[in-house]
């Protein structure tokens, strides 16, 4: 934790201020949060804002943004970069296209990861122990309504929390579930 910057947080001013986004961002910095907003109302903006502050506060920590498909992963890289300007030199895409050796190097040298949950799960389960559990400071989960049963999102969170509890979870969904039981399962599985 960097005490020089950890006593403040930054909110992007390159987009119009929407009070609900500001309020949700502020809350999500300090507690695990499920953000439920209709498509187009700024879930990615909120995620990017939280990511940037965690990135600043923990100079050796890592941030993982998981999305269920390769196209969504790709889309989020540029969208988050446009909001906060986190250096692309510190950023890696992890979608199964990279070799295990390359992924191990990325986990060692990069700080912001955009990944499918299956890619992260594969590295968590790797006998080579390439996943840096203790460095994880934030996990963002897009399409969080998928976090049910043994879906990879659930497995990733369970594995990380078994090794460290010093991280934040930010879950995003326009449709968190059809029933109260569905929503409760998502909340429980993602430690919200």
Q: Is residue 146 part of a domain?
A: yes
The verdict on residue 19 lying in a domain is no
157: closest CA among 127, 186, 114?
186
CATH number reported for the structural domain that contains residue 108 in this entry: 3.40.50.300
Domain residues for the domain of 51 are 32-189
**pLDDT tens by residue, 21-76:** 999 999 999 999 999 999 999 999 999 999 999 999 999 999 999 999 999 999 99
**E-strand stretches of 46-157:** 62-66, 91-94, 112-115, 136-141
The verdict on residue 154 lying in a domain is yes
Phi–psi pair at 41, nearest 5 degrees: -105, 10
| Residue 76 placed within a domain | yes
Note the Cα 171 to chain centre separation in Å. 8
Is residue 68 within 8 Å of 144, Cβ to Cβ? no
Distance CA 174, CA 171 (A): 10
- Within a domain: 18: no
Indicate the number of domains in the chain.
1
Predicted TM-score (pTM) of the model is: 0.95
Task: Please say if the pLDDT value at position 125 is more than 90.
Answer: yes
Query: Residues 152-157: what's their mean pLDDT?
Result: 98
């Amino acid at each position: 934790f960097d005490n020089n910057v950890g006593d403040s947080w930054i909110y992007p001013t390159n987009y119009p201020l929407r009070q609900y986004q500001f309020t949700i961002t502020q809350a999500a910095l300090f507690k695990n949060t499920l953000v439920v907003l209709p498509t187009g109302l700024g879930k990615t903006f909120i995620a990017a804002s939280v990511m940037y502050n965690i990135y600043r506060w923990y100079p050796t920590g890592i941030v993982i943004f998981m999305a269920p498909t390769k196209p969504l992963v790709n889309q989020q890289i540029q969208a988050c970069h446009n909001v906060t300007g986190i250096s692309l030199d510190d950023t890696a895409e992890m979608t199964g296209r990279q070799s295990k050796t390359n992924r191990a190097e990325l986990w060692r040298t990069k700080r912001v990861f955009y990944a499918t949950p299956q890619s992260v799960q594969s590295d968590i389960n790797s006998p080579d122990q390439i996943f840096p559990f203790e460095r994880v400071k934030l996990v963002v989960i897009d399409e969080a309504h998928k976090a049910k049963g043994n879906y990879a999102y659930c497995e990733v969170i369970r594995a990380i929390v078994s090794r460290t509890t010093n991280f934040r979870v930010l879950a995003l969904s326009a449709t968190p579930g059809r029933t109260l039981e569905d929503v409760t399962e998502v909340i429980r599985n993602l430690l919200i």
